[in-house]
């Protein structure tokens, strides 16, 4: 292990071979994001014209929609190919993909992390059910996001008579990771970070591919300064370390030890969007909760269900998890989603995805961008662009029950609650219940084959997936089922005897509006 300055690291990176593959850890909100190290790649390219035509691989989305994270690589000529689990944090990179200036692939976040592990272990790729029936399946798009992405990075194979996907391995030339501390032996500790993510798998993949590992840390300490179990990446895997005393725990700044579970502290919340539709959806979705179950929550409206659990003091009734490796705690929201204050446990993300992949998740609450009559859900394709699924596919594939949460329509929609009923003041201009989703992030057909319970909750109607199709099972009091629901859908659901959603969902939403 060698401690280097940013200038020294920039010189090392400028000497990388053209077409090198770079794998980086990190997640949204600056979570374990090695941005100072990533900025050295950018500086080397802008000042020296090298490295060029890189392949960039990242499992989760990282960046600030401006300069940090994957935005550091969003320069023409710097990257040739990007394989990412989530893309929205870099609008420039998204635009380059849309304009066919780079090859673009989108794969499940957990599958990418597990692929790093398989690469590091020298095994012949990742064999898994994760992605079957979705846009990642080679019978559909194979994870390709634009016209110039023609290579098959995923293939369909059979094992013991069953269809599985093989995510193909590749050598990793540079692994970029972050921790809190490095000791004089090169050991990296993440003891004050809110998560470990996949830093060990990234480092292992690079080292055993014959590449180099670059680590960014806040502080250098003497050998023996931390306990053996606080070592996240051992020093024999680390080549270069840059020490950044001004390193921030997240984009919120500073280091809050409650986010690493080292002390109990107040929750730092982002002021998220709050409206009647969100409150109604969260309240109705919470009715699906079963005490004693292991839960996962996704980004957006679905995270509001966790808020209800905490507000009602029921957090001990459930076992909370999120894909970043967190168990328990109070989930942060907005751009800080993926972090929890006062967590009970922090595992690596690949370990967490093992729990999900193996069927250890009882129930998950996730967002709903589009759905169709086959029960398919899209949260990854919008307006001709790929946003990516993050851990969505990994989570839903083996969860025993899935509850999707979203507004019925969007763009200009305005609703309110009054007198225990829903009042629609303006319909949205964009349908979300469509004839065919733009990309299958969740396969209704696969869910039926797996015997999964699937419920779709909106503020005016609730649907359930059945072997015969999507059935309308509840409608909001105060609406016209024909004019406000059926005529505003792109498919005809099964309609038998839908019941009314409970008036209390709307009464609660109205009380909050009155108090505000």
How many helices (H) and strands (E) the chain has is answered by 11, 35
Q: Place 273 in a pLDDT band, splitting at 50, 70 and 90.
A: low
Tens of pLDDT along 125-157? 999 999 999 999 999 999 999 999 999 999 999
- Whether 295 shows a pLDDT value over 60: the answer reads yes
Task: Please tell me the predicted confidence (pLDDT) of residue 510.
Answer: 66
Region 380-397 average pLDDT: 89
Q: Does residue 269 carry a pLDDT above 90?
A: no
Q: What are φ and ψ of residue 154, in 5° steps?
A: -130, 140
Say if residue 265's pLDDT is above 90. no
Has 307 been annotated as catalytic? no
Which segments of the chain belong to CATH 3.40.1080.10? 2-125+170-243, 276-515
Q: What gap in Å lies between CA 18 and CA 75, rounded to an integer? A: 15
pLDDT: which is higher, 324 or 514: 324
Question: How buried is residue 15: exposed, middle or buried, by Cβ count under 10 Å (0-12/13-18/19+)?
Answer: exposed
CATH architecture of 2-125+170-243: 3-Layer(aba) Sandwich (3.40)
Question: Given a cut of 90, is residue 343 above it in pLDDT?
Answer: yes
Q: Return the pLDDT at 431.
A: 95
Residue 196, helix vs strand vs coil:
coil
Active-site annotation holder among 33, 192, 323, 370: 323
Rounded mean pLDDT, 105-109: 97
pLDDT band at 509 (very low <50, low <70, confident <90, very high): confident
Average pLDDT value for the chain: 94
- Region 323-331: mean pLDDT is 94
- In this predicted structure, what is the pLDDT of residue 387? 86
pLDDT of residue 270 exceeding 70: no
pLDDT higher than threshold 70 for residue 486: yes
Cβ pair 83, 112 in contact under 8 A: yes
Choose between 382 and 185: higher pLDDT. Answer: 185
Contacts of 128 (CB under 8 A, 6+ apart): 111, 114, 164, 165, 167, 357
Q: Please tell me the predicted confidence (pLDDT) of residue 200.
A: 98
Per-residue confidence band for 384, with pLDDT thresholds at 50, 70 and 90: confident
pLDDT for the residue 232: 98
Asked if residue 516 has pLDDT above 50, the reply is no
Peptide bond just before 168 cis, omega within 30 deg: no
Q: Which residue has the tokens 């989760």?
A: 60
Q: Which CATH number fits domain 276-515: 1.20.1250.20, 1.10.3720.10, 3.40.1080.10, 3.40.1180.10?
A: 3.40.1080.10
Segment 432-459 shows an average pLDDT of: 96
Other CB atoms within a 10 A radius of the CB of residue 285 amount to: 24
Question: Is 261 in contact with 21 (CB distance < 8 Å)?
Answer: no
Instruction: Answer whether residue 506 shows pLDDT above 70.
Output: yes
Q: How far apart are CA 139 and CA 156, in angstroms?
A: 8
By C-alpha distance, which of 214, 198, 187, 205 is closest to 41?
Answer: 214
**What was the pLDDT predicted at 514?**
53
> Looking at 398-468, which runs of residues are DSSP E strands?
401-405, 409-410, 414-418, 421-426, 430-431, 453-457, 461-466
| Interaxial angle between packed helices 349-357 and 109-120, expressed in degrees from 0 to 180 and rounded to the nearest 10 | 110
* pLDDT reading at 299 higher than 50: yes
And the tokens for 111? Answer: 């599958």
Alpha helices in 358-483 (DSSP H): 392-398, 444-449
Distance CA 20, CA 79 (A): 9
Residue 386 has pLDDT above 90, yes or no: no
pLDDT for 280: 95
Indicate whether 20 pLDDT > 80: yes
Q: pLDDT tens digits for 209-250?
A: 999 999 999 999 999 999 999 999 999 999 999 999 999 999
Does 378 have pLDDT greater than 50? Answer: yes
Q: What is the pLDDT of residue 513?
A: 56
DSSP strand pairing (345-346 vs 240-243): unpaired
Residue 52, pLDDT above cutoff 90: yes
Residue 359 corresponds to which tokens in the numbers above? 């069927």
């Amino acid at each position: 292990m060698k401690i280097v300055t940013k200038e020294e690291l920039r010189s090392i990176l400028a000497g990388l071979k053209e077409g090198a593959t770079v794998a980086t850890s990190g997640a949204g909100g600056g979570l374990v994001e090695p941005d100072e190290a990533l900025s050295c790649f950018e500086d080397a390219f802008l000042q020296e014209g090298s490295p060029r035509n890189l392949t960039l691989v990242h499992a989760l989305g990282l960046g600030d929609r401006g300069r940090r994270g994957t935005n550091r690589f969003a320069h023409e000529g710097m990257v040739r190919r990007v394989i990412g689990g989530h893309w929205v944090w870099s609008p420039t990179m998204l635009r380059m993909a849309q304009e066919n200036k780079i090859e673009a692939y989108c794969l499940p976040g957990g599958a990418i992390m597990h692929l790093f592990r398989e690469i590091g272990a020298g095994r012949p790729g990742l064999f898994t059910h994760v992605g079957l029936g979705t846009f990642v399946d080679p019978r559909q798009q194979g994870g390709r996001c634009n016209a110039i992405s023609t290579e098959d990075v995923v293939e369909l194979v059979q094992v013991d008579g069953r269809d599985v996907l093989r995510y193909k391995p590749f050598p990793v030339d540079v692994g970029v990771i972050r921790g809190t501390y490095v000791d004089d032996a090169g050991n990296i500790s993440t003891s004050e970070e809110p998560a470990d993510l996949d830093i060990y798998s990234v480092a292992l993949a690079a080292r055993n591919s014959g590449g180099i590992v670059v680590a960014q840390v806040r502080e250098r300490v003497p050998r023996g300064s931390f306990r053996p179990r606080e070592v996240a990446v051992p020093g024999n895997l680390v080549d270069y370390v840059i020490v950044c005393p001004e390193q921030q725990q997240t984009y919120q700044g500073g280091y809050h030890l409650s986010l690493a579970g080292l002390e109990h502290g107040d929750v730092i919340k982002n002021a998220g969007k709050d409206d009647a539709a969100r409150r109604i959806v969260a309240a109705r979705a919470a009715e699906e909760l079963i005490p004693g179950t292991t839960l996962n929550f996704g980004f957006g409206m679905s995270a509001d269900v966790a808020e209800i659990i905490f507000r009602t003091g029921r957090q001990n009734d459930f076992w909370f998890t999120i894909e970043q490796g967190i168990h328990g705690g109070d989930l942060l929201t907005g751009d800080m989603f993926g972090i929890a204050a006062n967590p009970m446990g922090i595992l690596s993300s690949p370990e967490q995805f093992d729990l999900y992949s193996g069927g250890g998740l009882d129930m998950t609450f996730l967002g709903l961008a589009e759905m169709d009559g086959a029960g398919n859900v899209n949260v990854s394709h919008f307006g001709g662009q790929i946003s990516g699924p993050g851990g969505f596919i990994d989570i839903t594939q083996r969860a025993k029950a899935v509850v999707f949460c979203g507004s019925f329509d969007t763009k200009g929609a305005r609703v309110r609650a009054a007198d225990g009923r829903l009042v629609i003041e303006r319909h949205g201009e964009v349908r979300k219940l469509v004839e065919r989703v733009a990309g299958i992030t969740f396969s209704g057909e696969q869910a039926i084959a797996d015997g999964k319970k699937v419920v779709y909750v909106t503020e005016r109607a609730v649907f359930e997936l059945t072997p015969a199709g999507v059935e309308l099972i509840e409608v909001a009091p105060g609406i016209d089922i024909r004019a406000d629901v059926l005529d505003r859908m792109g498919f005809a659901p099964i309609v038998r005897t839908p019941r009314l959603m409970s008036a209390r969902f709307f009464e609660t939403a109205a009380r909050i509006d009155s108090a505000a």
